[in-house]
Structure 1
Amino acid sequence: MKALLIVDLQNDFCPGGKLAVPDGGKVVPVINQLLDKFPLVLASQDWHPVKTVHFDKWPVHCVRESEGAKLHPDLKRKKITKVFLKGTDNKDDGYSVFEATNDDLEGFLRGNNVEELYLTGLATEYCVKATAIDAVEKGFKVFVIREGVAGIKEEDVEKAVKEMESKGINYINYSSI
C-alpha cells in the first residue's frame, strides 16, 4: 500500500504568511491533482504553543488555533484521512512528522499496511527532509515529489535533495507516479 503525506501546507508557510516559503503556494494545485492517485492521504501541521524554544531560531509561526496554522484554503481536504500535529511541545522543534504528538505516525502507517510513503509540502530542506529521513530509517520506501514540494533557499534545497538521495530517498517527478 502507498500513502501520500502532505507536510505542513499551512498559511504561515505560503505567500503572505509569517514564514513564507517562496513558491509555497505553487505546490497546492499539484498536490490537489495527486490526491486521487493515493488510497491513503495524510497531512501534518506545525502546531506550536505561543512560547517555544523553536521561536528562538524562527519567527513566530503556526501558533496552534491561529489563522497561520490552518491548512492552505485551496487544499482539497476531503481525501485527508488524518492530520498529525507536530512541534506542540515548548521544548522541541518538531521538524519531522514522526514527532507528531496527537498520534503515532509510524504505527498508523504500519496499521494501514503502508510500505511506500510519498511526500509533498513545505519546506523541502526542513520538515520534508526530516520526515523523509525518519521514514526511510524506519524501513519505508520513500519518494519526494519534486513538483509537490518547495523550499526556502535553492542552494539549501539542492543540499537537502543530495542528502535525501544518499539515504535512499527517491526524488521523483509527478509524471512518474
Structure 2
Amino acid sequence: MTSALLLIDLQNDFCPGGALAVTEGDQTIAVANQAIAACSNAGWHIVASQDWHPENHRSFAVNSGQQAWTLGELEGLPQVWWPAHCIEQQSGADFHPELNKAAITFVVHKGQNADIDSYSAFFDNGKLAATGLDEWLHQQQITHLVVMGLATDYCVKFSVLDALSLGYQVTLIAEGCRAVNLAASDGEQAILDMQQAGAQIQTLQTWLSTLA
C-alpha cells in the first residue's frame, strides 16, 4: 500500500479573517504541519487542493443575486450561495502563511468553471469534469489517502466520498478538520457519513503511532 497525505483547502479565506471563515479554521494548520513532517520523514507524497475560483463564479451570492449563506439551485444542483472567496491569484486563495508549503509535492486547483461549484478535490459537483488528482495519484501508484482540511462538511466530505468511490483507502484525521456548520450538527454528520462510507477516523496521535 502506497500512501499520500491530502490537505484540503488550507487557504486564507477559510481561516479567521477570511471571506468565508470557518470557526477555528486556523487551528488545522498546526495539525497539518505535524502530519507533513511525519509524512516527509516517511517518504510520502504530500498533496494539497486549492479552491481557485474565477471572480465571476456563479456560486458567489453577489454574482447570482442571492443572499449569502442561503440555499438555492445552480445548473440543476443544490447550491449554497457563498460569499465571494478564494478568487484565483488573490491573497484569499493563498495557502495559510503558517502552512509548510515547501513540502507539498502536488497542488490541484478546483472550482475553476464559473458555472458549477466544486467541493471535491477530484470532480466538480456534477461530476462533469475531473480535476486531474485521480490521474496523478494513479501515476504515483498511491492507494491510500490520509485526509484533513477545510471544511469538514463540504470540501473534506466530498473529497473523501469521491476517494472512496474511486477505490482509495481513506483515513481521516478528524482534529485536522473544522466545519462550516450551517446547521450545528453538520460537521458531526459529515464525519459519520464518511465513516459509514468506509473511511477510517483516527486521531493525529493514533495515526502518527502507525508511522513510527
Please indicate the TM-score interval, normalised by the length of the shorter structure.
over 0.9
Instruction: Find out whether 1:139 has 2:167 as its counterpart.
Output: yes
Runs of 4+ in 1 over 4 A off after TM superposition: 100-103
Render the CA deviation track for 1:34-72: whole Å, top value 9, x for unaligned. Answer: 113221101011000111121131000001011100000
Tell me the CA shift for residue 102 of structure 1: 9.2
Q: Quick one: distance in 1 between partners of 2:177 and 2:137?
A: 21
Q: Quick one: distance in 2 between partners of 1:31 and 1:77?
A: 10
Give 3-state SS (helix, strand or coil) of 2:163's partner: helix
Q: 1:111 aligns with which of 118, 139, 144?
A: 139
Q: Quick one: distance in 2 between partners of 1:37 and 1:106?
A: 23
Q: Quick one: distance in 2 between partners of 1:103 and 1:144?
A: 21
Instruction: Find out whether 1:155 has 2:185 as its counterpart.
Output: yes
Whether the 8 Å contact between 2:122 and 2:130 is mirrored in structure 1 is no
In the TM superposition, what are the counterparts of 1:81-120 in structure 2 within 5 Å? 81-99=105-123, 104-120=132-148
Whether the 8 Å contact between 1:84 and 1:102 is mirrored in structure 2 is no
Q: Quick one: distance in 2 between partners of 1:76 and 1:93?
A: 27
Q: 2:155 aligns with which of 100, 116, 127?
A: 127
Letter in 1 for 2:178: A
Larger Rg: 2
Q: 1:167 aligns with which of 187, 191, 197?
A: 197
Where in structure 1 are there 5+ consecutive unaligned residues?
A: none
Structure 1 residues 133 and 103, CA, compared in 2 at 3 Å: closer, same or farther?
Answer: closer
The alignment's C-alpha RMSD in Å is 1.4
Q: What fraction of aligned residue pairs are identical, expressed as a percent? A: 39
Give 3-state SS (helix, strand or coil) of 2:157's partner: helix
Where in structure 2 are there 5+ consecutive unaligned residues?
A: 62-80, 208-212
Whether the 8 Å contact between 2:146 and 2:172 is mirrored in structure 1 is yes
Whether the 8 Å contact between 1:10 and 1:68 is mirrored in structure 2 is yes
Whether the 8 Å contact between 1:54 and 1:92 is mirrored in structure 2 is yes
Instruction: Find out whether 1:69 has 2:74 as its counterpart.
Output: no
Give 3-state SS (helix, strand or coil) of 1:94's partner: coil
Tell me the CA shift for residue 173 of structure 1: 0.7
TM-score (normalizing by structure 2): 0.80
Structure 1 residues 159 and 102, CA, compared in 2 at 3 Å: closer, same or farther?
Answer: closer
